[in-house]
Amino acid sequence: MKAVILDLEEDILELLAYTLEKAGFEAVPVDEEAQLVSLASIHTPDLVLIGNCSAPEVRTELVQALRALPGLSGTIIIFLSTDPLCDGDPMCHKSGADGCIQTPVTPRELICYIREIAPALVR
């Protein structure tokens, strides 16, 4: 399983990549929003985590661009957000994302959430 992870903070990006690798994913970290879509088209991930971005509108644009790529229609896309109501936020699902988890989040909570959204992805 492959996961492409976007976060603008290097330390968070490393922690997310490590967590997903320990769960059996091949992690592809991305620290620039502009690179996310091109790397996703190359790697055809099973999972995309979109963390710290500059604005909510950017997240929506990224999801729309990802969903338009051939082979990514079934890719699970999850936002990480500081908003405590993010998973119930209609904008999350309206954007085309599959879910949103509030940060800070422990590695265990993140993997449990991914397992809840897409059981087949996590061993």
Q: What is the DSSP letter of 68?
A: H
CATH architecture of 2-99: 3-Layer(aba) Sandwich (3.40)
pLDDT (tens digit, 9 = 90+) per residue, 50-109? Answer: 987 767 788 889 999 999 999 998 999 999 987 766 766 556 667 888 998 988 999 999
Phi, psi (deg, nearest 5) at residue 108: -60, -45
Buried-state track 45-76, b at ≥16 Cβ within 10 A, e below 16:
bbbbbbbbbeeeeebbebbeebeeeeebeebb
User: So where are the chain's domains?
Assistant: 2-99
What is the reported pTM?
0.92
Radius of gyration of the chain, Cα coordinates, nearest whole angstrom = 13
What's the whole-number average pLDDT of the chain? 89
Residue where the block lists tokens 């996703």: 40
